[in-house]
Amino acid sequence: MPGRELADFLTFAKKLWKIYDKNGKLVPFVPNPAQTLMLHALEQQKAAGKPGRLRVLKYRQAGSSLLWSLYLLHQTIIRSGLTSLSIADKGDLPAQWLRRCKILLGQIRDGMDIGPTETASSINEIYFRELGSRYYIGSAEGTT
């Protein structure tokens, strides 16, 4: 997995992940101002010894869904035995977010000699057996 320099989320994301900008161009991930504020709030909680929890009022174009997909995927692939959980507000979003995560995993493997290997997945989960870690995305509308 990544060296210590890539254990930092922003370093990792800027180096290995590309996203589509508003013009449809594939560009390196750089957090926008709203995403920067969310990351700052999370870092303050961690510095205070608190678990990182943010409730984000959903509004268009802030990039919160993208940010948390990236952040939680990063945490899941740099730690052993971690279960990450996102809750989407609509029933069809978990499958969309997991498709995006699989694309991001491909970008990591393209940018590194080795990368995380997805061992199993379902409509709501990606599992990494070598790490014993999983990323689960549920829905507030779902039945699970």
User: Which residue's structure tokens are 């952040």?
Assistant: 71
User: Which residue's structure tokens are 């692939």?
Assistant: 77
Are 102 and 126 contacting, i.e. CB atoms less than 8 angstroms apart?
A: yes
Distance, in Å, from the CA atom of 89 to the CA atom of 91, rounded to the nearest integer, reads 7
CA 119 to mean position of chain CA atoms? 17
User: Which residue's structure tokens are 């594939």?
Assistant: 26
* 33 backbone dihedrals φ, ψ, rounded to 5°: -55, -40
Residues 6+ apart with CB under 8 A from 30: 14
Distance, in Å, from the CA atom of 41 to the CA atom of 35, rounded to the nearest integer, reads 10
Q: How would you write the pLDDT of the chain (144 residues) with one tens digit per residue?
A: 445 667 889 998 988 899 888 888 999 999 999 899 999 999 999 899 998 787 777 666 788 888 888 898 998 988 889 898 888 777 777 788 888 888 888 888 776 765 566 666 677 888 888 888 999 888 877 555
